[in-house]
């Protein structure tokens, strides 16, 4: 009788399927037929081999790779003394391997079209893998990956990436000479004009036009890079007064034409009413266009809007910026209507609101804005918060936004604006390579001397991989992306000019990512890094990463920086690779995910304020970017609690967010939290607690996963991580 096996098998194309014992038996029978009768195994022997493998597979607590099963088949046949059969099986396996190597790209693309590749299909929680534009991007990505592995990267780096020792990010874009993320210099483009699709765009003559141009710039930038981008609403603020003067002139002309008295109070009142309507229309243009636009990579632009009052001079311009921010928050609280006409939470634009002295206290001038931000966070999960007070301490007095979700530029003495302030807008990131700290720990077998030695070796591997990213961008001519390199988004180089000068001297950064600090500590010390006895070790590891970046930077004049990697699908990949290399280690590899960067483990019970205070020490050691979060219940009826968290952020940590839930079931209209449950085969699925609906196409689920909101569901590893989260408030 065949054993009932529920363990899953990971196929070579990334698809995860249920183990099927008949495939073992059939493979042995096929090899068996190829040898003379005298050397063949009998049916009982074939079944015995298959049964033994089934029992071994059942003992696994995680999905088994198909290569592991094939190794078991070879061993099983040999144990039955079926040497000739084993020889035929090995030869068949070798031929299949050669065929696959010559055809990996074809198979990868076909698995995408057939919706079978789970790894790629759920790689990005904001890309719908069904639609043509996404599939087209993924197909191009498969070609890029293939070229990257076979031609563009050294073999040892490819092998380390595939084994989960490091992660070479965005290999699906590496063949093209594209960079990661940036802060677009919207001020330069709006004030001095730009060119979009060979069309001259002059300085806008109204706030509404400036908003329209901004959406076009964002779309063009998104189509010429693969990472996130940010722009500041402060760069739009001056256009409010341009519209004010234009409207005022029109109001006066209308009143003169109608013979109305030119009463100053009436003129001002009518002007401000019409101006408020223009601000509303302009912000609606930005929010709706950015949500509905689809760039060439099959998703809405990954864009962040930065809201910092003190970025503009005090007085009318700052009040105008406050009016813009207020409108952004009001419209985001409302949300957007989905195809069923239901108001839901959009993923983008991401919003960041800066907390400072003029908005953080009850008697601050802009306290009402902060209250509105708190209400918006409670309902729609944004904005996130930057503490101007803490950032000034960490960033040489500067306050500025990240590039997308968390990647921060470094403060550079070599990069300053004409007024002497540090330059940030127009700068960018060259790319990321992440070290798997859990693998370093497990490879050391708890020998601390071995740990530090292996860490240095792996860091050097990351260094060489990062140099590959850097060298790939060198020699790129500005013509490949005029909006970026020629027309102001990042620079104003001449046609035919290479971007090389922007890769050195601090203009751009390149990021050493890290993952699994918690699991690393757990294995090496037996404790979480929140334990005082383990915290110093965790901080020492973080310091080593920073020391290495400083060493490379001094030698090469390239701005290496430590980056708290936002693992999305990679959290699952790393976990699976660790299980394959080291088996199940309790508390370390016994889940289908590993922890993002320095974060406290999602299941660890810790209150919100302790978590933020603890993680602040680690955020300091991630100058290239990091974000902390707390998990909270529905806070819409407890805004004072949200405000108390915001005040704590202001005093204690540079960059943080509140994770709440924002779901909707289309079957029954339930708008509470959609739950994660196990189905009969052990797979994690989403289920409406009100009506039992499990059809993902008939529900809207929004969760923060990596510093930004995801709305397209996630792989099994990330889904388990979401399920395991505990509340901090």
Catalytic positions:
180-181, 403, 405, 407, 429, 563, 568, 707
Sign of the alpha-carbon dihedral angle for 692, 696, 698, 704: positive
Q: Which residues, 6+ apart, have CB-to-CB distance to 236 below 8 Å?
A: 186, 190, 207, 210, 211, 214, 282, 324
What Å distances lie between residue 13 and 111, 157, 171, 235, 535, CA to CA? 7, 20, 16, 46, 40
DSSP-derived 3-state class of residue 505: coil
Which tokens go with 511? 């990021």
Pairing of strands 709-710, 703-704: antiparallel
Q: How far is Cα 385 from Cα 402, in angstroms, rounded to an integer?
A: 11
CB 465 within 8 A of CB 166: yes
Q: How far is Cα 710 from Cα 255, in angstroms, rounded to an integer?
A: 51
Q: How far is Cα 15 from Cα 279, in angstroms, rounded to an integer?
A: 48
DSSP one-letter string for 574-633: HHHHHHHHH---TTTTSSS---BTTPPPTTS---HHHHHHHHHHHHTT-TTB--EEEE--
DSSP one-letter string for 320-345: HHHHHHHHHHHHHHH-EE-TTS-EE-
Instruction: Tell me which H or E stretch contains 168.
Output: strand 166-168
Quote helix, strand, coil % in the chain, to nearest 5.
50, 15, 35
Q: How far is Cα 322 from Cα 332, in angstroms, rounded to an integer?
A: 15
Place of tokens 């396996």: 93
Phi-psi region of 420 (alpha: psi -120 to 50; beta: other; left: phi over 0): left
Q: Taking Cα atoms as reference points, which of 438, 717, 678 lies closest to residue 593?
A: 717
Q: Which residues, 6+ apart, have CB-to-CB distance to 388 below 8 Å?
A: 308, 310, 354, 355, 356, 357, 399, 650
Q: How far is Cα 643 from Cα 155, in angstroms, rounded to an integer?
A: 52
Instruction: Tell me which H or E stretch contains 676.
Output: strand 675-678
DSSP-derived 3-state class of residue 644: helix
Q: Which residues, 6+ apart, have CB-to-CB distance to 314 below 8 Å?
A: none
Q: Which residues, 6+ apart, have CB-to-CB distance to 114 below 8 Å?
A: none
Q: How far is Cα 455 from Cα 467, in angstroms, rounded to an integer?
A: 18
Strand ranges for 57-108 from DSSP E: 64-65
Which tokens go with 633? 């219940």
Q: Which residues, 6+ apart, have CB-to-CB distance to 728 below 8 Å?
A: 606, 607, 608, 611, 630, 631, 632
Q: How far is Cα 454 from Cα 354, in angstroms, rounded to an integer?
A: 40
């Amino acid at each position: 009788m065949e054993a009932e096996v529920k363990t899953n098998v990971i196929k070579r194309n990334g698809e995860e399927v249920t183990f099927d014992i008949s495939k073992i038996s059939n493979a042995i029978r096929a090899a068996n037929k190829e040898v003379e009768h005298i050397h063949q195994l009998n049916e009982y022997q074939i079944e015995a081999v298959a049964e033994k493998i089934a029992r071994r597979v059942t003992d696994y607590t995680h999905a088994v790779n198909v290569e592991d099963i094939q190794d078991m088949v070879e061993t099983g046949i040999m144990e039955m003394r079926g040497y000739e059969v084993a020889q035929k099986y090995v030869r068949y396996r070798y031929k299949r391997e050669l065929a696959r190597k010559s055809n990996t790209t074809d198979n990868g693309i076909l698995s995408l079209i057939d919706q079978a590749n789970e790894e790629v299909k759920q790689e990005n929680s904001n890309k719908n893998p069904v639609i043509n534009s996404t599939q087209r991007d993924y197909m191009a990505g498969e070609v890029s990956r293939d070229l990257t592995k076979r031609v563009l990267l050294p073999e040892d780096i490819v092998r380390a990436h595939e084994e989960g020792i490091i992660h070479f990010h965005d290999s699906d874009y590496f063949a093209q000479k594209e960079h990661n993320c940036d802060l677009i210099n919207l001020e330069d483009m709006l004030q001095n004009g730009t060119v979009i699709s060979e069309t001259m765009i002059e300085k806008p003559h109204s706030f509404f036009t400036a908003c329209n141009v901004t959406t076009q710039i964002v779309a063009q930038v998104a189509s010429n890079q693969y990472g996130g981008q940010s722009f500041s609403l402060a760069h739009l603020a001056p256009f409010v007064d341009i519209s004010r003067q234009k409207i005022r002139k029109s109001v006066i002309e209308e009143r003169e034409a109608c013979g109305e008295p030119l009463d100053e109070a009436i003129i001002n009142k009518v002007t401000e009413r019409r101006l408020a309507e223009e601000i509303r229309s302009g912000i609606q243009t930005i929010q709706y266009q950015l949500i509905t636009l689809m760039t060439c990579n099959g998703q809405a632009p990954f864009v962040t809007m930065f809201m910092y009052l003190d970025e503009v001079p005090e007085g009318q311009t700052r009040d105008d910026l406050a009016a813009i921010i207020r409108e952004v928050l009001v419209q985001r609280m409302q949300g957007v209507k989905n195809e069923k006409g239901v108001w839901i939470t959009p993923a983008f634009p991401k919003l960041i609101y800066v907390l400072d002295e003029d908005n953080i206290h009850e008697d601050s001038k802009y306290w009402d804005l902060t209250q509105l931000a708190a209400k918006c966070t409670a309902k729609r999960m944004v904005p996130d918060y930057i503490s101007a007070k803490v950032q000034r301490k960490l960033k040489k007095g500067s306050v500025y936004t990240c590039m997308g979700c968390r990647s921060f530029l470094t403060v550079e003495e070599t990069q300053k604006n004409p007024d002497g302030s540090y330059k940030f807008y127009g700068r960018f990131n060259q790319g990321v390579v992440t070290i798997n700290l859990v693998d370093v720990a497990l490879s050391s077998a708890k020998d601390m001397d071995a740990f530090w030695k292996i860490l240095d070796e792996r860091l050097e591997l990351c260094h060489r991989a990062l140099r590959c990213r850097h060298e790939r961008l060198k020699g790129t001519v500005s013509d490949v992306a005029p909006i970026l390199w020629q027309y102001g988004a990042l620079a104003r180089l001449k046609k035919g000019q290479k971007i090389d000068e922007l890769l050195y001297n601090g203009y751009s950064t390149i990021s050493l990512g890290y993952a699994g600090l918690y699991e690393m500590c757990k294995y090496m010390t037996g404790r979480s890094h929140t334990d005082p006895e383990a915290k110093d070790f965790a901080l020492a590891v973080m310091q080593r990463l920073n020391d290495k970046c400083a060493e490379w930077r001094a030698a090469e004049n390239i701005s290496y920086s430590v980056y708290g990697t936002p693992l999305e699908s990679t959290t699952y990949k790393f976990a699976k690779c660790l299980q394959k290399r080291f088996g199940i280690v309790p508390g370390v590899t016994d889940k289908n995910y590993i922890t993002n960067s320095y974060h406290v483990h999602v299941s660890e019970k810790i209150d919100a304020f302790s978590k933020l205070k603890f993680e602040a020490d680690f955020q300091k050691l991630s100058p290239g970017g990091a974000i902390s979060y707390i998990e909270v219940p529905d806070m819409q009826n407890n805004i004072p609690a949200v405000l108390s968290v915001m005040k704590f952020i202001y005093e204690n940590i540079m960059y943080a967010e509140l994770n709440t839930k924002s779901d909707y079931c289309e079957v029954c209209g339930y708008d509470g939290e959609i739950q994660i449950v196990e189905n009969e085969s052990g797979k994690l699925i989403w289920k409406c607690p009100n009506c039992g609906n499990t059809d993902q196409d008939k529900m809207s689920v929004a969760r923060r996963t990596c510093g930004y909101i995801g709305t397209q569901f996630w792989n099994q590893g990330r889904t388990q991580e979401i399920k395991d989260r505990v509340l901090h408030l």
